[in-house]
Amino acid sequence: MKSIAFFLLVLMFVVAGCNSDSKQSVAARDTASTPACAPCATGKSGGTAWCKSCNTGFVKGKKVRCQPCYVAKTGGPACAACAKKN
């Protein structure tokens, strides 16, 4: 009987701990929402950049997934793949 009471007591603390909003969990949540790479941070803040690791670009803060389109929007030649679609 004592072991059941002890188990329930431990379970109660574990469940209460899972629902707590500690400083560590808030910091982890804030870190997860910030970009890990410099080009993405630049793009998300309104700049123009291409991130090789994320395979994503930003032109004046607007997301671009196609690298040839990114090149075209930054002064390069038109994207051949998109030209075929139109």
Q: What are phi and psi of 34, to 5 degrees?
A: -95, 145
Query: What are the beta bridge partners of residue 49?
Result: 58
Task: Kindly tell me the sign of the dihedral angle through the C-alpha atoms of 38, 44, 50, 53.
Answer: positive
pLDDT greater than 60 at residue 47: yes
pLDDT at 66: 92
When pLDDT is cut at 50, 70 and 90, the band that residue 11 belongs to is: low
Give the mean pLDDT of 47-67.
Answer: 95
Query: What pLDDT score does 26 carry?
Result: 47
Per-residue pLDDT at 55 = 94
Distance of CA 5 to the CA centre of its chain: 43
User: Is 71:79 a contact under the CB 8 Å cutoff?
Assistant: yes
Instruction: Tell me what pLDDT residue 49 has.
Output: 96
Q: How confident is the model at residue 33 (pLDDT cuts 50, 70, 90)?
A: low
The pTM of the full predicted model, rounded to 2 decimals, is 0.55
